[in-house]
Amino acid sequence: MSNTRSGTTLDEVDAAIIALLQEDGRASAVDIAGRLEGVSPRMVRHRIKKLLRAGIISITAVIDPKALGYPIMADVLIETDVSEIPTVALRLSELDHVTYASCATGESDISIQVVARSVDELYRILQEEIHQMPGVSRARTYLLPLALKFTYNWKIPEEVYRRPEAVAGSATGIGGPSPA
């Protein structure tokens, strides 16, 4: 057993439920209970509610930027004045193409991850948005040709779903006509 920040104690059942939800966030309590020995669907529902309330898990849709035409991924390590770190980090986190932003220690003050449709677009984002941002004194960029493990909650940029051809040609979207 291990204690979490909220004082909630996790056990092997909680860990197994979390692992199964990570495989399929839409798995029902019945499905999860069926894969665990000695656990009822009622217990699974109770444990999930407890984990959600404690903030240990959240169940959300995870977007794959590559599937939406954003195959270029890069880490950008940013240096700024120490007094500017929180402000610059917050401004960077609000950029559409930034999927991750964190204050850092070591040689860089801020670490961000950027997705783009092409290397040219990445270059434009770096030159016009990141390097020009007040407080950014230096940015080092590393292309990431292969991602082995990542988790994030990236929001789809409006340019993806507000394009004239997307709006005019897809009133039905992926799932068919919208319910009235």
Domain match, 99 and 36 both: no
* Domain of residue 37, residue span: 2-53
In the block, residue with structure tokens 């990431």: 144
In this structure, the dihedral spanned by the alpha carbons of residues 99, 158, 66 and 147, taken in order and rounded to 10 degrees, is: 0
pLDDT one-digit tens code per residue, 30-67 = 999 999 999 999 999 999 999 999 998 898 888 889 99
Domain match, 69 and 136 both: yes
Let me know if residue 108 belongs to a domain.
Answer: yes
Q: Over pLDDT 90: what percentage of the chain? A: 64
CATH number of the domain bearing residue 15? 1.10.10.10
Local confidence band at 159 (pLDDT 50, 70, 90 cut-offs): confident
Task: Give residues with Cβ within 8 angstroms of 146, minimum separation 6.
Answer: none
Domain match, 38 and 97 both: no
Let me know if residue 26 belongs to a domain.
Answer: yes
Let me know if residue 117 belongs to a domain.
Answer: yes
Let me know if residue 164 belongs to a domain.
Answer: no
Local confidence band at 166 (pLDDT 50, 70, 90 cut-offs): low
CATH number of the domain bearing residue 97? 3.30.70.920
Domain match, 71 and 49 both: no
Domain match, 69 and 126 both: yes
Local confidence band at 160 (pLDDT 50, 70, 90 cut-offs): confident
Let me know if residue 86 belongs to a domain.
Answer: yes
pLDDT one-digit tens code per residue, 118-129 = 999 999 999 999
Instruction: Decide: residue 8, CB within 10 A, 0-12 exposed, 13-18 middle, 19+ buried.
Output: middle
Higher pLDDT, 179 or 115: 115
Q: Where are the alpha helices (DSSP H) in 26-169?
A: 29-35, 41-53, 85-93, 119-124, 158-161, 164-169
DSSP 8-state assignment for residue 5: T
Q: Are 85 and 47 in contact (CB under 8 A)?
A: no
Task: Give residues with Cβ within 8 angstroms of 119, minimum separation 6.
Answer: 72, 143
- How many C-beta atoms lie closer than 10 Å to residue 95's C-beta? 16
How many domains does the chain contain in total? 2
Domain match, 95 and 122 both: yes
pLDDT one-digit tens code per residue, 81-108 = 999 999 999 999 999 999 999 999 999 9
Task: Write down the pTM of the prediction.
Answer: 0.72
